[in-house]
Structure 1
Amino acid sequence: MMNETLAIQLDGVEQSRSNFKLGPLHMSIPKGYITAIVGPNGCGKSSTFRLMLDLDKADKGTIELLGCNVNQGMDTELKKRIGYLHDQSSSHENNMIGAAKAEFHRFWYDDWDINRYRELLHILEVEDHLMLGKMSKGMRRKFEFALALAHGPELLLLDEPSSGLDPLAWKTMIEVLHRYMDRGDRTILMTSHIIEEVKRLADYIVFMAQGRVLGMYEKDELFSSWFTLFVSGAELTAKKAAELPGQCGVEHAGATTFRITTNKAAEAEEWCAAEGYQIVSRQALELDEIMSALLQQDRLHSRRN
């Protein structure tokens, strides 16, 4: 039986294609929070969403959403509990009027809220009397975002939600998502390559690269743990600097000073004090710098194995 505190659980999920292997993926996404998957283009983020939604089939492993195993297919009742914003609009819908697509969605969802839908269109400044193909990229994105939210899903999957949006529309979308989460029993899993978006929205961050999960972290803990320290000491050597707790990279920064990246900042500072080394300065790492350090660690680990 699935852990009731989890909205999504992937265990040993693999998918092999001629030009790409995804997995094995192990991922536990908690209920009631916003989790963001970040990683380079082509790392498998969108493919993972497609497996979760049973749009593609995994070769190995199990996938559970909201307590239901989707390996044998996703039934209609489960689909009604999920909202999905895909990364690209469907070109075959270009000749459809927005309102007509909304009516189609309304047919499938028992909890479709027409008042909420109209409210979202107003907030997002969307006109659904236009043909989808005549909408700007940003307007179409906002329209499809409104569709994904209008039935009040328990689980919302957002694949690059801010793609094509201007800064004002992006800010409005964030406000809408915060309101959506106010009840406390809803879950968002999103992918994004925009650092500010992740920092403002996510409670948890999953790093992916080359079809694998590099790690999952609570956001505040992540940013309080990853630092670059400039450490100085008359007896300090590169070999000794490599012993610093959480060390992820050591570089010379002067005759007796080293630039050391660590993912255990508090322990590293205690170690420096105990060893008698001076921390000249400290710099918190940004999300892209943490991603780069994790990728470097992963490459080193792969070479060793």
Structure 2
Amino acid sequence: MSDWKAETAISFENVSVRKSDFVLGPTTLDIPSGYITAIVGPNGSGKSTLFRMALDLAKPDHGKVTVLGQEIGSGDDDALKQHIGYVPEEPYAHESRLKGSDKAKINGFWYKGWDLFRYQELLRILQVNDHQLLGDMSKGMRRKTELALALAHNPELLLLDEPSSGLDPLAWKIMIDLLHRHMDQGDRTILMTSHIVDEVKRLADFIVFMAQGKVLGFYEKDELFCSWFTYYVSGEGIDARDLADMPGQTGIEFAGMHTFRVTTGKAQDAEAWCTDAGLTVVSKSAMELDEIMAALLHGIGLETKANEARGLRR
């Protein structure tokens, strides 16, 4: 896990939420300013709940949430929300009778930083006709409209809950490019959730893993992929107990002929340990995001959720 420190855009301090069918936390999590952070986890992990708390659309039972230096719920937050853009996972049903252009007029009235020319440029890039009713648009067209609306006031903080849901491959590539351009200014932050492995790899600087309302880890992306590997390890007379102390190991499987398949989140330490133990590394391969998620869940005994994690889309 990275020791990296920076100013935070969002701070969740010991927050918890308890409902009849769901428990979140207690969770402490800092989202760094100036970077893209992706939260990854199975459905029902609590990702959207964190977003809603950051927007004061849901209240924690305990703890506090601070966004751009202001504690949420401590007073009038209209000025704060001027600096935030949000694309929810599911569009708001009550807006379905509005045209995209109607919602743009509302946004233009409310956001002091609303940029009409930027909005029109985004419509052109995304190939959107905003004169349709939002409720009559296809899922992908409405998603593109929501993205244009969220980006057009150049928000300092952008919250994207499954932003590519419904987008075709071409629109997805355009979205990736738009988000990279949005970050070019250097003082902006994106917090996103995604089930798309390639989306996280292309966009995220930091990755948060969540499951069952708890944060499993916060990682710098490049460090994460350099640390998590699958090894095939062999040795005369070796058995699983000999590998139990391998640094970072999260799973051991017999592979036949004095060989075991081992997953670890501390690759360099694990290789050095094998050398010291007189074991041979037959082969190794870097793990993909879904495999890392499954390994983390397997390590804490959440087998069903681990199987769900393997369903993250490439």
Measured against the shorter chain, the TM-score band is: over 0.9
In structure 2, list runs of 5 or more residues that go unmatched: 303-314
| Alpha carbons of structure 1 residues 269 and 186: separation in structure 2 relative to 1, 3 Å | same
Match of 1:149 in 2: 151
Match of 1:61 in 2: 63
For 1:217 and 1:74, the matched residues in 2 are separated by: 34
Helix, strand or coil at the partner of 1:49: helix
Query: How much has 1:283 moved relative to structure 2?
Result: 1.3
For 2:76 and 2:70, the matched residues in 1 are separated by: 8
Amino acid aligned to 1:71: G
Query: How much has 1:103 moved relative to structure 2?
Result: 0.3
In the alignment, does 2:223 pair up with 1:255? no
Indicate if the aligned counterparts of 1:98 and 1:132 stay in contact, CA closer than 8 A.
yes
Match of 2:122 in 1: 120
Match of 1:137 in 2: 139
Matches within 5 A, 1:78-227: 78-227=80-229
Query: How much has 1:273 moved relative to structure 2?
Result: 1.6
Amino acid aligned to 1:86: P
Aligned residues: 298
Query: How much has 1:71 moved relative to structure 2?
Result: 3.4
In structure 1, list runs of 5 or more residues that go unmatched: 301-305
Deviates more, 1:80-89 or 1:272-281: 272-281
Query: How much has 1:202 moved relative to structure 2?
Result: 0.5
Amino acid aligned to 1:128: D
Amino acid aligned to 2:283: S
Per the normalisation by structure 1, the TM-score is 0.95
Q: CA RMSD in A?
A: 1.3
Moved over 2 A (4+): 71-74
For 1:199 and 1:148, the matched residues in 2 are separated by: 22
Amino acid aligned to 2:172: W
Indicate if the aligned counterparts of 1:54 and 1:73 stay in contact, CA closer than 8 A.
no
Deviates more, 1:115-124 or 1:14-23: 14-23
Match of 1:297 in 2: 299
Match of 2:241 in 1: 239
Query: How much has 1:282 moved relative to structure 2?
Result: 0.3
Query: How much has 1:172 moved relative to structure 2?
Result: 0.3
Helix, strand or coil at the partner of 2:146: helix
In the alignment, does 2:72 pair up with 1:70? yes
Percent identical among aligned pairs is: 60
For 2:76 and 2:51, the matched residues in 1 are separated by: 13
For 2:152 and 2:251, the matched residues in 1 are separated by: 47
For 1:19 and 1:274, the matched residues in 2 are separated by: 48
For 2:296 and 2:247, the matched residues in 1 are separated by: 16
| Alpha carbons of structure 1 residues 192 and 74: separation in structure 2 relative to 1, 3 Å | farther
Amino acid aligned to 1:216: F
For 1:257 and 1:195, the matched residues in 2 are separated by: 30
Query: How much has 1:72 moved relative to structure 2?
Result: 2.7
Match of 1:270 in 2: 272
Indicate if the aligned counterparts of 1:38 and 1:207 stay in contact, CA closer than 8 A.
yes
Amino acid aligned to 1:34: I
Amino acid aligned to 2:32: P
Indicate if the aligned counterparts of 2:6 and 2:32 stay in contact, CA closer than 8 A.
no
Indicate if the aligned counterparts of 2:140 and 2:168 stay in contact, CA closer than 8 A.
yes
Give the one of 30, 47, 72 matched to 1:28. 30
Query: How much has 1:74 moved relative to structure 2?
Result: 5.3
Match of 1:41 in 2: 43
Indicate if the aligned counterparts of 1:54 and 1:71 stay in contact, CA closer than 8 A.
yes
Query: How much has 1:237 moved relative to structure 2?
Result: 2.4
Indicate if the aligned counterparts of 2:7 and 2:32 stay in contact, CA closer than 8 A.
yes
